[in-house]
A and B are shown apart, each in its own frame.
Chain A
């Protein structure tokens, strides 16, 4: 290729690569810098990333069974009563609760949490077997709910033996809605708009004899819940639908509930029988549909466990930042950028013009992978520290394979061949080895797709990194090197090779 053409093409490629890198890396700034009237803000592609809990924090809330309160709530209520000055009321409040670690348990007999036990002259309280068993089963049910949703990260803990703490990362869609649904406990039932229970009523069998499964589905951006019923269940739903449709007000709904909590409440016209014993209800969000389906399925499987959680509203959710500091993301980016800079600069120092070709390749790798991480999503690509690892591996491996080619070219030149033929032979000798290594990496990444949660996301990220590394190492470095070599005056100097003639001089 002629020198002029090479220079023009190189200039165009440089602009494209720089734009890619700028889109990925330039930090946020207000666009009013360019246009005073503008209220927009420039955000790099990395702002689109969803980070795991370690890097961006998440949401958590606590589920307190009815009759169980935190020591902070107890202290706050007691403080209020003491300010009021009513000693009797204060004493009554104090005796209505029994301290257990960081919680206070109600002594109310109706709630059946505690049994009074007299040990000689001392009176104490012990937790009832019924409450213990119910709580244990409830913990299991909550665990099953989170497991069924396939989250990359979640945490369920038992706090002071009788409260449950649940956490989801910020990156998960609709976290607050999901945490709310998962707090619903009680019997699965279906009611009409006025709250009158339609199912189960006297004479009905267990819900599992009517409703087999609720399943969240999506098809071409349409989300729905599929309700699989038995024949008896289908008959029940038909009757409910007919009765609700006959309601003159037009605002009737069929309410699928867990205890007193409404989980799914379609209007009768939105509850359709798709095929025999398969009904569908349209939903607006897939994550919510999954949470609804899982909540209803577990309610049917576990039944009424005798534990009801205090209602969790929007004020009860805590948002926490990255556990080790708000700068976690920035520090990770900084570390990665320093690594990129090192891989860009060092080859230039060591290999001259070919190092420049490698620098182009590295910047292309950086731009393409960061771009792909931002835009290849269905909110499944959670960026974690593992992402940084596979990014580093792909980038350094690509540089290593290019370096192998350089060494092979150098060896051919040392045997007395011309630079042009050495380049051809050098690349030819190393290409198969590079293909082997990259093919194994790509195959390995595909195998990792078997993993679940964050492992699955890492597999996709690894595939992006290694396919990009393959493109850069096998093709792009060679193309850029060819263009640079065409534009170069002295091909030996380009590669920083020493000519044998120079030695003699």
Chain B
């Protein structure tokens, strides 16, 4: 791990280029295509079956079986489906949701096939749907609004203030340069998370903003810890002869940070693996946010930090020599 990080640290400029390219690509794709909006919040087409009779397990199962068969036969694939109850559970709706791009004609074919199938069942005395009232409709649903007023700009403002707050705290505790590195890391990791989510086309809802906040919070806290370690390590007389790169690497607490990142990754994957689809997609976004944070905090920042600390040391040494000269002149 030490050798790997040492190698990467030496190539921080390459990492910076890769990150920049991803940010630019993400920005371009955002401008052209935006996010890949999840079907629960974007434009969709629906096939709805309304059942206005007393529902039981058999009728429920038969309706679902017929719907799935006829949809499959029409060569179209649903994104998801759900059931809803109206009129105090006297009316049930089965809503099958499709992409907005699905062929409308195929949807009508599925509808016609379903109507025929239900009509056949309604006249069969031994059928669970005998004499029942069932209606089928196909609709186009265009999303008009899904987020609270000002959600997007306030989310960005909040993330910006987060970075400013992190800068202020880090600057007071560890110096202005550390503060700048903390804030910039936070912004970069959020930007990279947004870019990767756009590029990889992860289906998003409004809750994707939570994963961006997760990236920002994780990065600023880890970097703040790291800056404290660097400051302490540079002050340690044992490290006086070491290069800035070695001191920074030592301050990275590789073992602990590795366990931390792995534990987070396992936790997020567990969340995505065991929970339902929208949470699974959120978990994928969260993994992307974690990856962004790791790239910025462990692959990019150490190299930049070493360079900054070198420059700081040179400036300090120059100041020391200058004072020395002044003292000499005074002595004369």
Contacts and interface: CB of A to CB of B under 8 A. Distances in A.
Contacts of A397: 221, 260
Given A151-B148, A451-B155, A453-B151, A339 B270 contact: yes
B224 A143 contact: no
Given A157-B143, A342-B266, A335 B271 contact: yes
A177 interface: no
B270 A335 contact: yes
Contacts of A399: 263
B76 interface: no
Given A392-B264, A400-B260, A448-B213, A160 B139 contact: yes
B276 A322 contact: yes
B139 A102 contact: yes
A332 B279 contact: yes
Contacts of B327: none
A304 interface: no
A436 to B, nearest CB: 5
Contacts of B214: 386, 389-390, 393
A360 to B, nearest CB: 18
Contacts of B10: none
B264 A393 contact: yes
B177 to A, nearest CB: 16
Contacts of B86: 315-319
Interface stretch (A204-212, A323-331, A497-505): A323-331
Interface string A325-365: 10110011011101100110000000000000000000000
Contacts of A436: 169-170, 173, 224-225, 227-228
Nearest to A333: B275
12 contacts: A71-B135, A72-B50, A72-B136, A150-B149, A338-B270, A389-B211, A400-B259, A445-B217, A447-B164, A450-B158, A451-B154, A452-B150
Contacts of B135: 71-72, 75-76
Interface of A is mostly: helix
Contacts of B286: 389
Contacts of B224: 436-437, 439-440
B2 to A, nearest CB: 16
B50, B164, B207, B276: residue with the most chain A Cβ atoms closer than 10 Å: B276
Interface string A102-132: 1000000000000000000000000000000
A452 B276 contact: no
Given A385-B207, A462-B217, A452 B137 contact: no
Interface stretch (B27-35, B63-71, B77-85, B298-306): B77-85
A10 interface: no
A448 B166 CA distance: 12
A272 B161 CA distance: 43
B210 interface: yes
A52 B225 CA distance: 34
Chain A's interface size range is: 35 or more
A143 B147 CA distance: 10
Contacts of B157: 450-451
A389 B133 CA distance: 45
Nearest to A163: B139
Given A322-B276, A455-B158, 17 more contacts: A102-B137, A154-B146, A160-B139, A160-B140, A315-B86, A316-B87, A318-B86, A385-B275, A392-B267, A393-B264, A397-B260, A433-B225, A437-B222, A437-B225, A443-B166, A451-B157, A455-B154
A432 interface: yes
Contacts of A407: 255-256
Contacts of A316: 86-87
A131 B158 CA distance: 41
Interface string A381-405: 0001110111011001101100110
A186 B41 CA distance: 29
B268 interface: yes
Contacts of A343: 263
Given A159-B139, A328-B279, A392-B268, A452 B220 contact: no
A333 to B, nearest CB: 9
A385 B229 contact: no
B167 to A, nearest CB: 10
A385 B144 CA distance: 24
Nearest to B170: A440
Given A155-B146, A320-B83, A440-B224, A385 B137 contact: no
B137 A71 contact: yes
A143 B149 CA distance: 9
A300 B222 CA distance: 52
B53 interface: no
Contacts of A434: 225
Contacts of A453: 147-148, 151, 206
A129 B213 CA distance: 45
Contacts of A477: none
A318 B145 CA distance: 19
Contacts of A293: none
Given A440-B170, A453-B151, A139 B139 contact: no
